[in-house]
Amino acid sequence: GLKKHILVIPGDGIGTEVTTWGKAVLEKIAKDFGHEFTFDEALMGHAAIEATGSPLPDETLAKAKASDAILFGAIGHIKYDNDPTAKVRPEQGLLAIRKGLGLYANLRPIMLFDELLNASSIRPEILKGTDILFFRELTGDVYFGEKKRSADNNTASDLMVYSRYEVERIAVKAYEAARLRGKRLCSVDKANVLETSRLWREVVQEVAKRYPDVETEHMFVDNAAMQLIKNPKKFDVVVTANLFGDILTDEASQIAGSMGMLASASIGDGTGFFEPIHGSAHDIAGQDKANPMASILSVALMLEISFGLQEEAKRVTNAIDKVLKAGYRTGDIADSSTDKSKILGTTAMGQKILELL
């Protein structure tokens, strides 16, 4: 068996509820397969601001660096959403840990469970067979460029900036993955307008030469947003910048039926970081309504990517598949045909998944 130390950062809102089940799945997997997983916990986001004044306490970053993988929930609080003048914000914690751990590649697989074909607002015949892997660049772009307010407070700017090496390393990761999948890569940019996108396209064209077995397409982001809904099957691997990737993957979550189904892996120089793509959802927090599947699927990504445990990862995705096949749903993925008695809360769904694992 393997010995691994995992840092759990539940964060805010439903983050704490769903992460409980991600961790429970890790414990069950360790027991069943004879691994030794040890756990520690740390604060981030609103919870950390309340306790320490900082959205990413030094202690959390130190623990993160010392662990073999991180399971993260979500961060955010409505208090800040309604107060654009707040200087200290929960999101700064997430951005700082991404930067601090060098997590430049965010993998967001759009996995479609057949049972959920009707949970999407897109027609099943358009969706069926869709399998997309997004590579969202995660430590550059307008997210990390200089932010400014003019002295008179009437003008604001965020610098959109990319360096050649940043584009190259994410492109390489995406091409390597494309080579092992459908051998098609779509690079999404806005090269008709943005200088950063022109650099992006130039670098991707250079990297493409090293992967002649992969078919490369370049697409403008506005067109990509449209094509994702019109014909999602045409995509295999998509590689794009931080902001475009943030927006396109929320859109793509509707292909999978719900944000509650989408997991993600952030990787780069050091420890891998695994999290659902959904946020802290304060509107349903504390009500036992959140879908724990995105957290549990993030655990599957951790097992596969950080620990190289394919069989264990498969066991986890199979458990989700079994639960769905048995007709169980959380509210977000239920539709008019769902048996009302099979609509479960977070706890009952978590238990059901553990049972079938």
Give the relative orientation of helices 346-356 and 293-301 as an angle to the nearest 10 degrees.
40
Smallest distance, Å, CB 303 to Mn ion? 24
Flag whether 98 is marked binding.
Answer: yes
158 touches ligand IPM (CB under 6 A): no
Nearer to ligand IPM, 144 or 307 (CB): 144
277 touches ligand IPM (CB under 6 A): yes
C-beta of residue 43 within 8 angstroms of C-beta of residue 51: yes
Helix, coil or strand: residue 187: strand
Flag whether 181 is marked binding.
Answer: no
Q: Which among 140, 109, 95 is positioned nearest to 243, based on CA atoms?
A: 140
Helix, coil or strand: residue 284: coil
Q: Rounded to whole angstroms, how far apart are CA atoms 6 and 120?
A: 34
Flag whether 58 is marked binding.
Answer: no
Q: Which two tokens stand for residue 84?
A: 């654009």
263 touches ligand IPM (CB under 6 A): no
68 touches Mn ion (CB under 5 A): no
Flag whether 81 is marked binding.
Answer: no
Facing residues of 217 across strands? 186
C-beta nearest to Mn ion: residue = 246
Flag whether 246 is marked binding.
Answer: yes
265 touches ligand IPM (CB under 6 A): no
Side-chain-side CA neighbours of residue 244 (13 Å): 26
Is residue 335 among the annotated active site residues? Answer: no
Q: Which does 215 bind (CB under 5 to 8 A by kind): Mn ion, ligand IPM, none?
A: none
C-beta of residue 166 within 8 angstroms of C-beta of residue 104: yes
Stretch that binds Mn ion, among 86-94, 241-249, 306-314, 320-328 (CB under 5 A): 241-249
Q: What is the DSSP string of 216-235?
A: EEEEEHHHHHHHHHH-GGG-
Catalytic residue from among 222, 269, 283, 339: 222
Please report where in the chains the tokens 């239920």 appear, as a residue.
Answer: 334
x/- letters, 199..238, toward ligand IPM (CB under 6 A) = ----------------------------------------
Angstrom distances, CA of residue 37 to CA of 27, 171, 191, 326: 7, 33, 46, 30
Flag whether 108 is marked binding.
Answer: yes
Q: By CB under 6 A, name the one of 168, 246, 288, 321 that touches ligand IPM.
A: 246
Is residue 3 among the annotated active site residues? Answer: no
Q: Which does 91 bind (CB under 5 to 8 A by kind): ligand IPM, Mn ion, none?
A: ligand IPM
Q: By CB under 6 A, name the one of 40, 68, 91, 217 that touches ligand IPM.
A: 91
Is residue 114 among the annotated active site residues? Answer: no
C-beta of residue 330 within 8 angstroms of C-beta of residue 290: yes
Q: Rounded to whole angstroms, how far apart are CA atoms 22 and 319?
A: 13
Binding-site residues, please?
A: 98, 108, 136, 222, 246, 250
The residues assigned a catalytic role are 143, 190, 222, 246, 250
Binding site for Mn ion (CB under 5 A): 246
Binding residues for Mg(2+): 222, 246, 250
